[in-house]
Structure 1
Amino acid sequence: MRIVFVTETLVTGGAETFVLRVASALQVRGVQVSICVLRPDKIDPALVTALAPNVTLIQLGMPTIYMLCSRFDGLLYLLGSSFSIVRSLQAHCLKQYLAARGATVVHSNLLASDLVVADVAETLSIPWITTIHGDYLAIEDTGNSRAMRLQDFTRAVHKIENSVSHVVCITDRQISMVQRVFPRIASENRFSKIYNGYPNREQQWRRSMPEVIARVPDDAFVIGMVGRGRREKGWDALISAFRKLDLPNAWLILVGDGDYLTEVRQIVDDDRIIFAGNVADPLRYIARFDVGCMISRIPSESLPTVVIEYLLLNKPVVATDVGEVRNMIDGSGDDPAGLLVKLGECDEMSAEVSIALKRLSSDKALFETLRANTAKALQKFDMDKCLDSYLTLYRAPRSASVRDDEVDRSIC
């Protein structure tokens, strides 16, 4: 069995880290795995090294060529064209690699990757599986995407439906979407729900404390959040909530980077708020938290990886009730591992977050109960269960032609 993962980028994000972790775990099991990255200009080497150092990584094309073609695609999009030079180039390179490697199954992630694989897999008679992430719901809401050079979401998913073998969802809302936009796949029962797996590697967070947070007092009540540095991730709501707490012994650690956080960092004047920046090993920082926050203001959130990481390190969670978060922190229906706040305007969310954090800082019994429930909630994300489910899908379809020789690297 030769599995080729296809992803648009390998930067910090739930879909990307899922690809790296699952590919690495499959390789440990003895499965031959490689990862094709469609955008060679969007690869974080530190992230790849941290999560999948031994997995073969293939960059399709050169960054300079990609950037030039992307500009032409931008003009085509403005003219109303659905043709993409970038996707055509990516499909050409991917087709060459899949044929040379003798891939038995392709596993794609993110809509941009699915569109490229749809152009390739059918002509090579290679079955392919896609895992749906949050981008599908976000683009369905708008109907198009300038960043992706996508004119018509409905037309795009129809193209995917014509060749995809199986669709994997990671949230209940995605299940509803599949039934809505992939009617034939739904009627043929070629979809399923599989939670992302997360490996339990204790050594990842039992190393020395990062220097940037070493100055936090041992007895401090530490609130933290990890995420992308976008405004929509709710950084402003969390910072505002922290200030409303008025707890002298409370500290706030913010792990992430981006233009928005850079701006915020320049105007926030509070020694108890630490901006740790972008890191490849967030578990080392989460280990110092008492409470982990996920205050996203993005309605299309799906299965935030950071919530799994909070559960892994037994941190009670304060999170927005979006996507699959409610099910993520609920171990068995009666044993929540955190508190939820409603999605709304910044001021409204800030007030709710402040109340939740105040409860956890003052009610020790509640804090300990939620912390004890994290282990049960985490069971849903066991990596072995995740791999077993995917291996069942990989073995169901068979490629028409499989080569015995293996090519480790292909350059287009």
Structure 2
Amino acid sequence: MKVLHVNAGLENGGGLTHIINLLKQAKSEQQDFSLLCLSDGPVAQAARAAKIKVHVLGITSRYDLRSLKKLTEFINNGDYQIVHTHGARANLFVSLIRRKITAKWCITIHSDPYLDFADRGLSGKLFTKINLSAIRKADCIFAVTKRFADLVVKKAKVKAEKVHVIYNGTFFHQDSEIPAKYEHPNFNIVNVARTEKVKGQDLLLKALKELNNANVHLFIAGDGSQLKALKDLAQKLNLGPQVTFQGFMTHKQLKNLYRRMDLAVLTSYSESFPLVLLEASDNLLPLLSTAVGDINMMIPDKEHGFVAQIGDVSSICSALEQAISMPQKQLKEMAYLEKNYVVKHFSLHQQLDSILRVYDAIL
């Protein structure tokens, strides 16, 4: 089976990790998967670093529709049986050539399509409408949460038989491969996320203030449009000594940072199935998350982690307090229990196997 994954190429977060990890797993299992990026950028660079077969179409502007002929020829001349798009721009381009290609077309919905362009005014409403129209034309839809699957079926009116829930997976390491933790005097919590409003780091800062515990230190690893605003808020709340803004960090840098952490925290308003929490669990960190997406599938009960209400500072503060007051031995046991659970349910082999079964069915 010859499969082409298509992305705009400008992803720099969970979407990038999802694509690259999936293609790395496919390569390890000797599946004939290739990647096509509409533009050169972070995705193509990550693919090259991972020695994944990658092509760049060379589109110079965000919506250069003159490249549609080139895209059509690339797909047809390559004899691809499946074209699998990730992201609104890739969805749009393939939707416009749908009748000119022989390959079956799949889409992965990584986020809420009704919120992707929510902050862009009238143009955002237009882009949302165009993306939803593209989604309806695909032969199959992979949704990374059940909520997204329900959304496209019930609200976007996509036929239910075309929609499949496939949870994100990640590479897990043997516990013996995880570097030992560094001794550290404080209770360190880490938030790995883009500094954007949807990630709710402002809630985390306010919860830290409400917690009023000088022994708790927060590390925010991420970059984005809200970075300065968050730094200003930390100063306004007099949290300067307790908060470190790390900026964007590579996986290697994060792995080293995790050695000094006691808890991984995500306080987003909206998420799909956050890979950053799977990666933190792989590094034997207990997890705390707001009740986003299908987080109940990742943290099934109180024995496996902490869940707070979305947008609720007091609830986040209460969950933090529970984690901090828990004996270190018990917290460590929770981290091992959670990792054993996610390894069984969310490996990349399982994710790829589920996708391949759908490919076979639509072919």
Moved more, 216-225 or 1-10: 216-225
Q: Does 268-277 or 122-131 show the bigger shift?
A: 268-277
Deviation at 1:204, TM superposition (A): 12
Partner Cα distance (1:8, 1:375) in 2: 33
Q: Corresponding residue for 2:307?
A: 340
The reply on whether 1:56 has 2:53 as its aligned counterpart is yes
Partner of 1:249: 215
Q: Superposition pairs for residues 12-411 of structure 1, below 5 Å? A: 12-40=12-40, 42-43=41-42, 47-48=46-47, 53-62=50-59, 65-66=60-61, 70=62, 86=63, 88-139=65-116, 146=123, 151=126, 153-154=128-129, 156-162=131-137, 164-181=138-155, 183=157, 185-186=159-160, 189-201=161-173, 206=178, 218-265=184-231, 268=235, 270-281=240-251, 282-298=254-270, 301-330=271-300, 334=301, 336-344=303-311, 349-364=312-327, 367-368=331-332, 370-378=334-342, 379-398=344-363
Give secondary structure in 2 for the equivalent of 1:355. helix
The whole-number CA distance in structure 1 between the counterparts of 2:282 and 2:140 is 30
Q: Within 2, Cα distance between the matches of 1:57 and 1:248?
A: 48
- C-alpha separation between the residues in 2 aligned to 1:382 and 1:106? 23
Per-residue CA distance 1:352-386 (angstroms, 9 max, x = gap): 22222122111227634532431243132111111
Q: Is the 8 A contact 1:237 1:350 kept in 2?
A: yes
Distance 1:54 1:173, change over 3 A: same
TM-score, normalization by structure 1: 0.76
The one-letter amino acid of 2:101's match is L
Shift of 1:223: 0.7
What do residues 34-62 of structure 1 show as CA deviations (whole Å, max 9, x unaligned)? 2122243x52676446xx62112222224
TM-score when scaled to structure 2?
0.85
User: Equivalents in 2 of 1:178, 1:56: separation in Å?
Assistant: 31
Residue identity matched to 1:122:
R
How far is the alpha carbon of 1:314 from its aligned partner? Answer: 2.6
- Aligned partner of residue 200 in structure 1, secondary structure: coil
In 2, distance between residues paired with 1:245 and 1:117?
49
Pick closer, same or farther for the CA change 1:263–1:154 going to 2, 3 Å.
closer
**Taking structure 1 as reference, are residues 172 and 265 closer, same or farther at Cα in structure 2, changes over 3 Å only?**
same
**RMSD (Å) for aligned C-alpha atoms:** 3.1
Match of 1:75 in 2: none
Residues in 1 aligned to 2:355 and 2:209: alpha-carbon distance in whole angstroms: 45
User: C-alpha displacement at 1:23, in angstroms?
Assistant: 0.8
| Alignment deviations for residues 285-319 of structure 1 (CA, whole Å, 9 cap, x no partner) | 23432111001123xx2111112122222322221
Deviations 1:41-99 (A, max 9, x none): x52676446xx62112222224xx31xxx5xxxxxxxxxxxxxxx25234333212212
The one-letter code of the counterpart of 1:343 is I
1:232 to 1:156, Cα distance in 2 relative to 1, 3 A: closer
Whichever residue aligns with residue 358 of structure 2, its letter is L
Shift, 1:241, TM fit: 2.2
Mapped partners of 1:387, 1:88: distance in 2: 32
Partner of 1:408: none
Higher mean C-alpha displacement, 252-261 vs 388-397: 388-397
Q: Sequence identity, in percent?
A: 21
Structure 1 stretches of at least 4 aligned residues deviating more than 6 Å after TM superposition: 140-145
Contact 1:171/1:193 (<8 A) preserved: yes
User: Number of matched residues?
Assistant: 355
Asked whether the 8 Å contact 2:180–2:259 carries over to 1, the reply is: no
Give the letter for the 1:357 counterpart: L
